[in-house]
Amino acid sequence: MLWFLGIDSSAYTTSLAIVGEKGILMDEERQLLTVPSGSTGLRQSQAVFQHVQNFPGVLACLLNRHPELVASNLAGVAVSTAPRTVPGSYMPVFGVGLSLAESMATINRIPLKHTSHQEGHLRAGLYSAAGPVAKEFLAVHLSGGTSEVLHVIRNKAGFKTQILGATSDLHAGQLVDRVGVLLGLPFPAGPALEALAADDNTTGETYKRLNSSFFLPAAVSNYQFSFSGAETRARRFLETGGSPQEVAQAVQGCIARTMEKVLRRAIQETGLKEVLFVGGVAANQYLRQRLRYRLEHPAVKAQLYFAEPRYSSDNAVGVALLAYDTFHSI
């Protein structure tokens, strides 16, 4: 049985995935890097060290569950080598995964594909959301390291992307994590902040209204947007005794309204109606419900696709699928 391996060593997750000869995900394994309590992240040197420690155990765990897989049937390897597929995109952490991938490809005399972390997110999103179905679509990548609205064209071996809009300062995930640390939440703060923001609204439709008296405005200019002002306002509100739940709700609302404003412009100007959401922040249920309510409205007629929460956060699934896409017919 032929199999394909995907490798990703992002800023906070060591991950591997296996895809079978029919393009079906067989299994995946990931390990979050350890971030000290009260910190908003890791230095690259710290993350590199943890990846080096993690990969042997992650690989052993994955392959121990699949004794049927043998090295002689490994048909191809893909690895994310940079955050994005643009000149100058670089982070040292991706060198750890690249080293492992090059070693495996050389020893087994098999082809190696270089891809990007963002392309891996897009491919995992297409896999888990079952769409968009069109070759050309819009995508939103929201995480701790990327906040972009993209014009995407899919091809056999990956994607051609054009950045339509992006943050001018903080990423959406950085806003969540920095406010989360102020609230005493664990890092990464997304799941805990979402839980804190939840209220006892029995209709389940808080996304249709402002669910907090505290408000963080959406700072948008054309396709560009900003979250640093929202962080400052949230900090000041908390310092004056503001409600943690109201702050958590306001952060969710700010991100949702920001993306709505940018996407309305992108949909109108490109004519593209299908939108794929990927990245850890896109796992937030309020964000999903609010954007569906506002953008799938008959006045806009967009079709939104969200990666399943498990495949929204960093993982190697999309990278493994790109290995299959590229090498399965060789």
Q: Which tens digits make up the pLDDT trace of 19-77?
A: 999 999 999 999 999 999 989 899 999 999 999 999 999 999 999 999 999 999 999 99
Q: Average pLDDT, whole number, for the chain?
A: 95
Q: Which tens digits make up the pLDDT trace of 134-148?
A: 999 999 999 999 999
Please tell me the distance from the alpha carbon of residue 196 to that of residue 190, in angstroms, as a whole number. Answer: 10
Q: Which CATH number fits domain 3-123+313-327: 3.40.50.300, 1.10.3720.10, 3.30.390.50, 3.30.420.40?
A: 3.30.420.40
The token pair that represents 32 in the structure block: 């979050």
- Fold: same for 3-123+313-327 and 132-310: yes
Q: How far apart are the first and last CA of the chain?
A: 15
Measured at the alpha carbon of residue 312, what is the angle toward residues 310 and 314, in degrees to the nearest 5?
90
Q: Which tens digits make up the pLDDT trace of 202-236?
A: 556 777 665 568 999 999 999 999 999 999 999 99
Q: Is 270 helix (H, G, I), strand (E, B) or coil?
A: helix
Helices (H), the chain: 44-64, 94-108, 117-129, 172-182, 190-197, 228-239, 244-270, 285-295, 309-312, 317-327
* Amino acid 204: pLDDT: 62
Please answer whether residues 211 and 249 qualify as being in contact, where contact means their C-beta atoms are separated by less than 8 angstroms: yes
Q: Which tens digits make up the pLDDT trace of 239-272?
A: 999 999 999 999 999 999 999 999 999 999 999 9
Query: Which of 149, 163, 180 has its CA nearest to residue 278?
Result: 149
Q: Which tens digits make up the pLDDT trace of 157-171?
A: 899 999 999 999 999
* Amino acid 199: pLDDT: 75
The rounded Cα 135 to chain-centroid distance in angstroms is 21
The token pair that represents 35 in the structure block: 């971030």
* Amino acid 213: pLDDT: 81
Q: Which fold has domain 132-310?
A: Nucleotidyltransferase; domain 5 (3.30.420)
Specify the DSSP class assigned to residue 241: T
Task: Reply yes or no on whether the pLDDT at 105 is more than 90.
Answer: yes
* Amino acid 166: pLDDT: 98
Taking the domains of the chain in order of start, what are their residue ranges? 3-123+313-327, 132-310
Task: Quote the percentage of the chain above a pLDDT of 70.
Answer: 96
Measured at the alpha carbon of residue 186, what is the angle toward residues 39 and 184, in degrees to the nearest 5?
80
The rounded Cα 257 to chain-centroid distance in angstroms is 19
* Amino acid 156: pLDDT: 82
Query: Which of 308, 320, 316 has its CA nearest to residue 283?
Result: 308
